[in-house]
């Protein structure tokens, strides 16, 4: 059974032809989605059509839409495929690394993500954006991923049905897929890959401000109840500070934990993620218990230096968040 390479392409250059040639030499079946490219790029697609299946549509609709369009084609026309690999059309993913992802799928991996070394070769803005993304993902999901934005990924074909239901049509779609996979408890196989940028990433159609804001909007939408929980807890702690000070502060923090558990692990399951098999895991619950216990100890000590309860609670939460991130990073399973 074959592993298909799915390539969304918008206004590609000759690097796409070179990629197709190399993939074919490595016995890949290839599906290219023309994401509404301009007419002057028709020659590129015609050349690719000699060795790949080229499908598409007239209006540019975004990378997420193109991926869904391609997955629908695979689902309907390639019933014997055991999996597929998504790769970019701009040459940022080497054929050697694409082959490594295929090997993992053939070895039985369900969901393969790739990890780039972003410390040296990546443009400055890319490093900053990925750093913020890593922190937010870790705090929201109690899991550290060194690179959650690489477009080179591999999936078992059986995941296509739920992936088609995931929201998003632009660059935010790939992050949405990762978030939903995490909520299902799907095992992620990580593969380190080469970091390739041409002309400071000039060939990418990623819009740094617009697409980055869209990606962060995805975080808040997918972790809506984390945000709501934090807001309710803050209001509760401020009211407790005004009317009680530190009196019964332990019970106030216990109530905050109850709010967090109810919203982020119960309500979330039956609302945002009701359409998938929700399995956030025992890990998130244990980490939440540890976080609120540490916050209680910090507030217990803070009362002796006359620090207001609300201030102590917020400072503790910030310190704990940073500590959690670096703990998850230090214990990251390669």
Q: What is the DSSP letter of 327?
A: H
Residue 271 neighbours by CB distance under 10 Å: 11
Please tell me the distance from the alpha carbon of residue 211 to that of residue 188, in angstroms, as a whole number: 25
Establish if 21 belongs to a structural domain.
yes
Same domain, 247 and 176: no
More confident residue, 267 or 314: 314
What percentage of residues in the chain have a pLDDT greater than 70? Answer: 90
Tokens of 27: 């016995």
Domain ends where: 154, 182, 208? 208
* Helix/strand/coil for 190: strand
Same domain, 181 and 231: no
| Mean pLDDT along residues 239-251 | 93
- Given a contact cutoff of 8 angstroms between Cβ atoms, the answer to whether 110 and 37 are in contact is no
Checking if the pLDDT of 231 tops 70, the result is: yes
More confident residue, 46 or 333: 46
The per-residue pLDDT for range 75-134, each reduced to its tens digit, is 999 988 999 999 999 888 899 999 999 999 999 999 999 988 766 656 666 677 778 878
Establish if 192 belongs to a structural domain.
yes
| Mean pLDDT along residues 177-188 | 89
The per-residue pLDDT for range 28-83, each reduced to its tens digit, is 999 999 999 999 999 999 999 999 999 999 999 999 999 999 999 999 999 889 99
pLDDT for 294 equals 95
pLDDT for 301 equals 96
Same domain, 203 and 232: no
Same domain, 64 and 201: yes
User: Distances in Å between the alpha carbon of 34 and those of 166, 179, 203, 282?
Assistant: 21, 26, 16, 43
pLDDT for 238 equals 96
Domain ends where: 208, 241, 256? 208
Q: Which domain holds residue 156?
A: 3-208
Establish if 213 belongs to a structural domain.
no
How large is the angle between the packed helices 309-330 and 249-261, nearest 10 degrees? 50
Same domain, 126 and 270: no
Domain ends where: 165, 184, 208? 208
pLDDT for 25 equals 94
Establish if 185 belongs to a structural domain.
yes
Tokens of 292: 């609120």
What average pLDDT does the structure give for the chain?
87
User: Distances in Å between the alpha carbon of 242 and those of 134, 235, 252?
Assistant: 36, 11, 13
Same domain, 121 and 63: yes
Checking if the pLDDT of 271 tops 80, the result is: yes
Checking if the pLDDT of 248 tops 80, the result is: yes
pLDDT for 156 equals 95
More confident residue, 316 or 276: 316
As for how many domains the chain has, the answer is: 2
Tokens of 212: 């980055």
Same domain, 131 and 174: yes
pLDDT category at 145 given cuts 50, 70, 90 is: confident
Listing DSSP states for 86-141 in one string gives E--TTS-S-HHHHHHHHHHHHTT-SEEEEEE-TTTSS-HHHHHHHHHHHHHHHHHH
Same domain, 170 and 303: no
Same domain, 186 and 228: no
Establish if 219 belongs to a structural domain.
no
- Residue count of the chain: 334
- SS3 track for 36-76: CCCHHHHHHHHHHCCCCEEEEECCCCCHHHHHHHHHHHHHH
| Mean pLDDT along residues 135-159 | 87
CATH number where 169 lies: 3.90.550.10
Same domain, 314 and 169: no
Same domain, 104 and 176: yes
Please tell me the distance from the alpha carbon of residue 216 to that of residue 300, in angstroms, as a whole number: 35
pLDDT for 52 equals 95
Same domain, 19 and 107: yes
Checking if the pLDDT of 240 tops 90, the result is: yes
> Which of 19-28, 94-103, 257-266 is least confident?
257-266
pLDDT category at 278 given cuts 50, 70, 90 is: confident
């Amino acid at each position: 059974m074959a592993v298909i390479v799915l390539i969304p392409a918008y206004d590609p250059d000759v690097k796409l032809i070179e990629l197709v040639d190399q993939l074919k030499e490595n016995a890949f079946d290839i599906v290219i989605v023309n994401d509404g490219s301009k007419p002057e790029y028709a020659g590129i697609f015609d050349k690719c059509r000699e060795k790949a299946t080229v499908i598409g549509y007239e209006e540019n609709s975004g990378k997420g839409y193109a991926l869904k369009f391609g997955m629908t084609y695979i689902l309907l026309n390639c019933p014997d495929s055991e999996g597929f690999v998504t790769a970019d059309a701009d040459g940022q993913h080497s054929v050697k690394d694409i082959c490594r992802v295929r090997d993992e799928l053939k070895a039985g991996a369900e969901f393969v993500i790739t990890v780039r070394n972003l410390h040296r070769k990546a443009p400055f803005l890319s490093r900053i954006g990925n750093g913020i993304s890593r922190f937010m993902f870790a705090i929201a999901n109690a899991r550290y991923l060194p690179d959650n934005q690489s477009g080179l990924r591999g999936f078992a074909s059986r995941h296509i049905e739920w992936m088609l239901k995931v929201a998003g049509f632009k660059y935010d779609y790939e992050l949405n897929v990762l978030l939903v996979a995490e909520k299902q408890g799907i095992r992620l196989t990580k593969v380190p890959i080469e970091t390739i940028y041409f002309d400071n990433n000039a060939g990418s159609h990623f819009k740094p401000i617009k697409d980055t804001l869209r990606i962060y909007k995805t975080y808040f939408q997918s972790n809506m109840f984390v945000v709501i929980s934090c807001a309710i807890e803050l209001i509760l702690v401020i009211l407790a500070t005004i009317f009680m000070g530190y009196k019964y502060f332990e019970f106030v923090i216990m109530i905050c934990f109850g709010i967090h558990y109810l919203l982020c692990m119960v309500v979330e399951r039956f609302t945002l993620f009701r359409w998938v098999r929700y399995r956030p895991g025992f890990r998130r619950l244990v980490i939440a218990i540890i976080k609120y216990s540490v916050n209680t100890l910090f507030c217990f000590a803070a009362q002796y230096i006359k620090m207001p309860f609300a201030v102590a609670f917020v400072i503790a939460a910030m310190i704990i968040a940073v500590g959690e991130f670096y703990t998850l990073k230090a214990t990251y399973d390669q």
